């Protein structure tokens, strides 16, 4: 889903702003080739994204149900505004910020993009001109907001938080990191309330052999 989202975001930006930003820089010939490629990728990758989206929501909706302790995380913004960098607010498997991203970006915005995208992708369903215009406007706004939120998420998942990228890449975190950032989930794992998961076949750099 992530790969298709990035492709759609980049091609969508080219289609939205390319004529005013790229055309003066690269000329008509190259821009024509680039715009055609972006249009075809956008049209054909979109349906793939819609299928991946349904699977993604089904897999992770349970762990993103809001809990009472999420309010504490939101009140302190996960401790990210603490200048010492030592304030960490306990959370479950996903903290309140990740849950907000799930419900706003993955569920609300992405479903809006899928519905409006299908309306634009298949005009042979006798949509009116007004419907197509409204769908185009809503699709563009949802796409820009979604891309902005995704950029913030990518920042936090790479350079913004130590250990986050390795967790997403390998699917495992060491116990120290789990307890520090997701203490409630860590406690449930250690108590046997949720599965620990199968250990990796080979050691992963920076990850303990006992994955949380």
Instruction: Write the pLDDT tens digit of every residue in 81-134.
Output: 655 555 678 888 888 888 999 999 999 999 999 999 999 999 888 899 999 999
212 and 115, same structural domain?
A: no
135 and 109, same structural domain?
A: yes
74 and 40, same structural domain?
A: yes
C-alpha 140/C-alpha 148 separation (Å) is 12
183 and 153, same structural domain?
A: no
57 and 154, same structural domain?
A: yes
C-alpha 129/C-alpha 53 separation (Å) is 28
Residue 10's nearest CA partner among 38, 44, 45, 49 is: 38
What number is the average pLDDT over the span 165-175?
A: 81
Phi and psi at residue 79, to the nearest 5°: 80, 5
State if pTM tops 0.75. yes
C-alpha 100/C-alpha 4 separation (Å) is 21
- Alpha carbon of residue 121 to chain centroid: 23
Residue 10 belongs to domain spanning = 2-173
CATH of the domain at 47: 1.20.950.20
Specify the number of domains making up the chain.
2
In this prediction, residue 209 carries a pLDDT of 43
36-43's contacts with Cβ under 8 Å and 24+ in sequence apart are 37/11, 38/10, 38/11, 38/14, 39/11, 39/15, 41/7, 41/11, 42/7, 42/8, 42/11, 42/12, 42/15, 43/121
156 and 104, same structural domain?
A: yes
- Taking CA atoms, 141 is separated from 109, 116, 135, 146, in Å, by 9, 11, 10, 8
179 and 205, same structural domain?
A: yes
- Taking CA atoms, 30 is separated from 7, 13, 27, 38, in Å, by 19, 16, 6, 12
Instruction: Write the pLDDT tens digit of every residue in 41-67.
Output: 999 999 999 999 999 999 999 999 998
pLDDT top residue among 183 and 48: 48
195 and 119, same structural domain?
A: no
Degrees, nearest 5: CA angle 19-33-37: 95
């Amino acid at each position: 889903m992530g790969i298709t989202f990035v492709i759609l975001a980049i091609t969508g930006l080219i289609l939205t702003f390319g004529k005013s930003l790229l055309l003066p820089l690269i000329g008509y010939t190259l821009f024509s080739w680039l715009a055609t490629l972006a249009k075809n990728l956008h049209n054909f990758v979109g349906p793939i994204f819609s299928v991946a989206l349904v699977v993604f929501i089904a897999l992770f909706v349970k762990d993103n149900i809001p809990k009472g302790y999420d309010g504490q995380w939101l009140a302190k913004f996960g401790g990210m505004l603490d200048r010492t960098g030592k304030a960490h607010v306990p959370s479950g498997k996903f903290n309140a910020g990740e849950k907000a991203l799930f419900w706003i970006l993955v569920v609300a915005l992405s479903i809006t993009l899928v519905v409006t995208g299908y309306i634009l992708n298949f005009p042979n369903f006798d949509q009116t001109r007004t419907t197509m215009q409204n769908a185009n406007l809503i699709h563009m706004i949802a796409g820009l907001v979604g891309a902005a939120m995704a950029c913030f998420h990518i920042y936090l998942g790479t350079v913004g938080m130590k250990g986050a990228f390795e967790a997403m890449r390998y699917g495992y975190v060491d116990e120290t990191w789990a307890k520090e950032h997701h203490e409630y989930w860590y406690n449930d794992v250690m108590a046997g309330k949720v599965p620990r998961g199968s250990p990796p076949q080979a050691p992963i750099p920076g990850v303990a052999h006992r994955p949380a």
